[in-house]
């Protein structure tokens, strides 16, 4: 572009104004600190205010603001035009280095509103970009900064020393010629080019042959050659004309010769003008040689391109995209989660890939650093040395308790979900609205379809209700981040507590379930319900399991009709786990010995029952009344028939972590974990128990 320069103009006695015109962003990829992949800002979604502050080095300080510019999108690039208005030492340093020929780059700062990670190919700003890169779909231009080194190889901005002061205004070429009493109409193309070069460099006109206008010749006699009269001494101070040395008058050219000369002059002027346009005042040596040596436009262009490549800096533009609102807090929280052992892939859903990528840089964050960063974000003053006052100041912020609470919650939830729970596989799950005992109803169709009489009358059926109950209980504990943990920077000790509580909360579901199951409330398992067998023949074997499957499928509904539900799970103690698997997974049986008279099948029909073995140590744990290592159970699929129900308060199926107020004399923060749930039996027809002895 031809406008990549600064024009400097000033009124006499005033601080100089710097006219800024240049290319700020080429529309391509940039490497930005804090972003894992390159960034492309989409001009289609870039909001541009009417006036944009001109800063130095993106510093948001009063003294760093040096002027104002206007920004526009031209040919898929961002160009700026404005002025440096400040008279500060920083602003004057930019101007002085510009006069000395220094090159400056530009850098823009923008607020990100919406961004996405592009893995494939995407056309942005008229360019096809290959992923991966971050596509900033929506942003707002906040400032443009003058920087020494940028990050975009595609563009550059230089400050050319084109400043020509005269009465407070920038002089144009014609006015400059008039100020030096030079008649532009009498210049040859070569003379005009040399003079314009001097004008652009702010130099005095070059030494050329100067003569006063020659008086009109008066021929003495027809046909006699005309001689130029010598100038009079008193005419030496009159208007000067830059021209070639006086020569003897030549005969008047013919029309063809005159036209040819005019064409030659016009061609020379066009050549010089094209060279000046190519050089744009930035390559005076090339421009001078091109004019004097008669280079073509193409030759001059090749020389300029070569000089640009040799003089191009390694990085000549920088784009700084400001972080989204709340980005720092999210980054700290994500960094603490990473240190706590939570996988980055799991955090992307909550925080976004950009935040998680940035958090990786701070994943070794200490507790002390966390306290200081939270205080800094909210402008809370902290002492220089770390102590009790620092702890109090940090805990007075909104950020620190919230970050610790969220991290503890995620750590607890991770542990809760990693703990295997048997009850959730065997039981249905429901929602309870309060802590009162809730009645759970199941409507049972009574009566079969009957033949219709000749008169077409249909008989009425009836609905019977099977009722069960459930009731919530609350289970919880308190844990703390203590002053001692903070001083010791012991984040691991703090996070072990919610981790352990998460596992305990998951195990609490199993504890409530097996306590209820083994207690056999209300004779849930009984011969009257046809879901219970005892005796030596009930020890787990092929015969006893076959009999249990038969009993299970023979269960009847309230109207005496089969419910036609198969068993899904075989629940056994850890002592019977291998026996159960052998029974269900063996291809066939073989005789144990010659004296064994039992019927030994060669085909294992139990393998086709599609039973899943579920084993639990709770069945044989002596802390639970009714425990037994020999008893075993069949369960239906809870999605088909109710067995037991696990109830949650309003559907919240995970524990809750809340921060609480600490005592006045406590330096730290307390958290409480609680879980609302209840487990109750529902329908005996989906269950079977064999005592096993």
| Higher local confidence (pLDDT), 424 or 214 | 424
**Sign (positive/negative) of CA torsion 637, 642, 646, 652?**
positive
Do residues 404 and 539 share a domain?
A: no
Q: Give the pLDDT confidence of 603-617 residue by residue, as tens digits.
A: 777 888 889 999 999
Q: Give the pLDDT confidence of 88-103 residue by residue, as tens digits.
A: 877 877 777 766 656 6
* Lowest mean pLDDT segment, chosen from 3-7, 91-95, 485-489, 540-544: 3-7
What total number of domains does the chain contain? 3
What count of Cα atoms within 13 Å lies in the side-chain half-sphere of residue 587?
0
* Lowest mean pLDDT segment, chosen from 144-148, 251-255, 338-342, 374-378: 251-255
Average pLDDT of the segment spanning 242-246: 39
- pLDDT for residue 212: 44
Helices (H) and strands (E) in the chain, counts: 17, 28
| Higher local confidence (pLDDT), 36 or 348 | 348
Give the residue from 378, 408, 438 where a domain finishes. 408
Residue 548 maps to a domain: yes
Do residues 157 and 13 share a domain?
A: yes
When pLDDT is cut at 50, 70 and 90, the band that residue 550 belongs to is very high
Q: Highest mean pLDDT: which of 300-304, 319-323, 333-337, 606-610?
A: 333-337
Average pLDDT of the segment spanning 553-559: 84
| Higher local confidence (pLDDT), 216 or 191 | 191
Average pLDDT of the segment spanning 251-255: 50
Q: What's the domain range around 339?
A: 324-408
Residue 232 above 70 pLDDT?
no
Residue 662 above 50 pLDDT?
yes
The SS3 call for residue 526 is coil
Give the residue from 166, 194, 221 where a domain finishes. 166
Ramachandran angles phi, psi of 45, nearest 5°: -110, 15
Closest CA to 2 of 415, 283, 401: 283
| Higher local confidence (pLDDT), 509 or 642 | 509
- pLDDT for residue 242: 41
The SS3 call for residue 279 is helix
Query: What percentage of the chain has pLDDT greater than the value 70?
Result: 72
Indicate the burial class of 575 (C-beta count within 10 angstroms; 0-12, 13-18, 19 or more). Answer: middle
Residue 674 above 60 pLDDT?
yes
Residue 476 above 70 pLDDT?
yes
CB 300 within 8 A of CB 289: no
CB 675 within 8 A of CB 421: no
Residue 114 maps to a domain: yes
Residue 123 maps to a domain: yes
The SS3 call for residue 115 is strand
* Radius of gyration of the CA atoms of the chain, in A: 46
Ramachandran angles phi, psi of 328, nearest 5°: -65, -45
Residue 5 above 60 pLDDT?
no
Residue 233 above 80 pLDDT?
no
Residue 472 maps to a domain: no
Residue 454 above 90 pLDDT?
no
CB 516 within 8 A of CB 626: no
When pLDDT is cut at 50, 70 and 90, the band that residue 647 belongs to is very high
Distance set, CA 398 to CA 140, 248, 373, 390 (Å): 28, 95, 12, 15
Average pLDDT of the segment spanning 290-318: 67
Give the residue from 374, 408, 442 where a domain finishes. 408
- pLDDT for residue 201: 56
- pLDDT for residue 150: 56
Distance, in Å, from the CA atom of 560 to the CA atom of 126, rounded to the nearest integer, reads 76
- pLDDT for residue 151: 52
* Lowest mean pLDDT segment, chosen from 55-64, 144-153, 594-603: 594-603
| Higher local confidence (pLDDT), 178 or 415 | 415
Query: What does the mean pLDDT of the chain come to?
Result: 76
Distance, in Å, from the CA atom of 552 to the CA atom of 686, rounded to the nearest integer, reads 8
Indicate the burial class of 669 (C-beta count within 10 angstroms; 0-12, 13-18, 19 or more). Answer: buried
Residue 24 maps to a domain: yes
- pLDDT for residue 402: 85
Residue 300 maps to a domain: no
Average pLDDT of the segment spanning 328-334: 85
Q: Give the pLDDT confidence of 22-68 residue by residue, as tens digits.
A: 778 888 888 876 677 888 999 999 999 989 888 887 777 777 888 88
What count of Cα atoms within 13 Å lies in the side-chain half-sphere of residue 581?
7
Residue 389 maps to a domain: yes
Q: Where are the alpha helices (DSSP H) in 166-281?
A: 173-179, 189-201, 255-279
The CATH number given to whatever domain includes residue 143 is 3.20.16
- pLDDT for residue 616: 95
pTM for the whole thing? 0.52
| Higher local confidence (pLDDT), 145 or 292 | 145
Q: Give the pLDDT confidence of 173-188 residue by residue, as tens digits.
A: 667 777 777 877 777 7
Distance set, CA 15 to CA 51, 87, 166, 346 (Å): 22, 6, 15, 57
Residue 528 maps to a domain: no
- pLDDT for residue 530: 92
Distance, in Å, from the CA atom of 327 to the CA atom of 304, rounded to the nearest integer, reads 45
Residue 199 above 80 pLDDT?
no
Average pLDDT of the segment spanning 239-264: 50
DSSP state of 205: P
Q: Which residues pair with 105 in a beta bridge?
A: 147
* Lowest mean pLDDT segment, chosen from 141-155, 386-400, 564-578: 141-155
| Higher local confidence (pLDDT), 550 or 279 | 550
Non-local (6+) Cβ contacts of 209 within 8 A are 242, 243, 244, 245
- pLDDT for residue 676: 93
Average pLDDT of the segment spanning 247-269: 59
- pLDDT for residue 627: 95
Closest CA to 145 of 257, 235, 245, 56: 56
Residue 164 above 50 pLDDT?
no
**Sign (positive/negative) of CA torsion 78, 83, 85, 87?**
positive
Average pLDDT of the segment spanning 554-572: 87
Distance, in Å, from the CA atom of 640 to the CA atom of 258, rounded to the nearest integer, reads 108
- pLDDT for residue 236: 41
Query: What percentage of the chain has pLDDT greater than the value 90?
Result: 21
- pLDDT for residue 11: 38
């Amino acid at each position: 572009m031809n406008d990549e320069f600064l024009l400097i103009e000033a009124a006499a006695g005033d601080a100089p104004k710097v006219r800024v015109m240049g290319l700020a962003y080429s529309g391509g990829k940039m490497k930005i600190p804090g972003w894992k992949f390159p960034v492309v800002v989409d001009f289609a979604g870039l909001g541009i205010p009417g006036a944009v502050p001109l800063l130095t080095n993106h510093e948001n300080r009063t003294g760093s603001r040096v002027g104002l510019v206007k920004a526009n999108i031209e040919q898929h690039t961002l160009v700026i035009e404005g002025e440096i208005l400040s008279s500060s030492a920083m602003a004057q340093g930019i101007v002085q280095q510009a006069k000395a020929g220094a090159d400056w780059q530009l850098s823009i700062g923008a607020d990100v509103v919406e961004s996405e990670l592009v893995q494939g190919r995407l056309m942005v700003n008229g360019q096809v970009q290959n992923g991966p890169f971050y596509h900033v779909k929506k942003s707002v231009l906040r400032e443009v900064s003058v920087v020494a080194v940028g990050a975009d190889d595609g563009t550059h901005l230089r400050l050319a020393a084109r400043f020509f002061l005269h009465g407070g205004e920038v002089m144009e070429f014609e006015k400059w010629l008039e100020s030096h009493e030079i008649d532009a109409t009498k210049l040859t193309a070569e003379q005009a080019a040399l003079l314009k070069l001097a004008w652009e460099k702010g130099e005095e006109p070059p030494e050329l042959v100067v003569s006063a206008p020659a008086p009109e010749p008066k021929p003495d006699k027809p046909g006699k050659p005309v001689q130029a009269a010598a100038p009079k001494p008193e005419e030496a101070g009159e208007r000067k004309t830059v021209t070639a040395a006086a020569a003897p008058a030549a005969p008047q050219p013919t029309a063809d010769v005159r036209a040819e000369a005019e064409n030659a002059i016009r061609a020379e002027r066009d050549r010089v003008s094209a060279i000046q346009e190519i050089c744009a005042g930035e390559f005076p040596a090339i421009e001078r040689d091109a004019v004097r040596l008669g280079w073509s436009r193409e030759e001059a262009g090749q020389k300029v391109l070569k000089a640009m490549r040799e003089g191009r800096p390694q990085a000549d533009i920088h784009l700084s995209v400001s972080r989204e609102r709340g980005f720092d807090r999210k980054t700290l929280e994500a960094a603490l989660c990473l240190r706590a052992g939570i996988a980055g892939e799991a955090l992307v859903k909550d925080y976004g890939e950009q935040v998680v990528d940035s958090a990786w840089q701070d994943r070794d964050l200490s507790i002390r650093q966390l306290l200081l960063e939270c205080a800094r974000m909210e402008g809370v003053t902290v002492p220089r040395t770390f102590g009790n006052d620092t702890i109090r100041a940090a805990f007075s912020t909104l950020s620190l308790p919230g970050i610790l609470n969220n991290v503890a919650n995620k750590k607890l939830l991770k542990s809760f979900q990693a703990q295997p729970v048997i009850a959730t596989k065997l039981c249905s799950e429901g929602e309870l609205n309060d802590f009162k005992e809730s009645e759970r109803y199941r409507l049972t169709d009574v009566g079969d379809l009957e033949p219709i009489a000749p008169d077409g009358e249909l008989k009425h059926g009836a609905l019977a209700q099977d009722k069960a109950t459930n009731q919530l209980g609350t289970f919880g504990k308190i844990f703390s981040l203590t002053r001692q943990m903070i001083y010791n920077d012991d984040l691991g000790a703090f996070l072990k507590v919610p981790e352990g509580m998460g596992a305990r909360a998951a195990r609490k579901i199993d504890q409530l379930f097996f306590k209820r199951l083994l207690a056999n409330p209300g004779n849930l398992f009984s011969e009257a319900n046809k879901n219970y067998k005892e005796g030596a023949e009930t020890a787990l074997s092929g015969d006893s399991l076959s009999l249990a499957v038969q009993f299970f499928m023979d269960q009847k509904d309230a109207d005496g009709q089969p419910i036609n539900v198969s068993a899904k799970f075989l629940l056994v103690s850890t002592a019977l786990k291998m026996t159960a698997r052998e029974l269900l997974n063996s291809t066939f049986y073989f005789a144990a010995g010659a004296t064994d008279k039992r019927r030994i099948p060669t085909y294992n029909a139990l393998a086709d029952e599609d039973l899943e073995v579920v084993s639990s140590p709770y069945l044989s744990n002596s802390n639970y009344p009714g425990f037994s290592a020999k008893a075993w159970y069949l369960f239906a699929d809870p999605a088909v028939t109710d067995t037991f129900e696990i109830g949650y308060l309003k559907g919240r199926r995970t524990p809750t972590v809340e921060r609480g107020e600490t005592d006045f004399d406590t330096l730290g923060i307390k958290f409480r974990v609680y879980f609302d749930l209840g487990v109750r039996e529902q329908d005996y027809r989906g269950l079977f128990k064999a005592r096993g002895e």
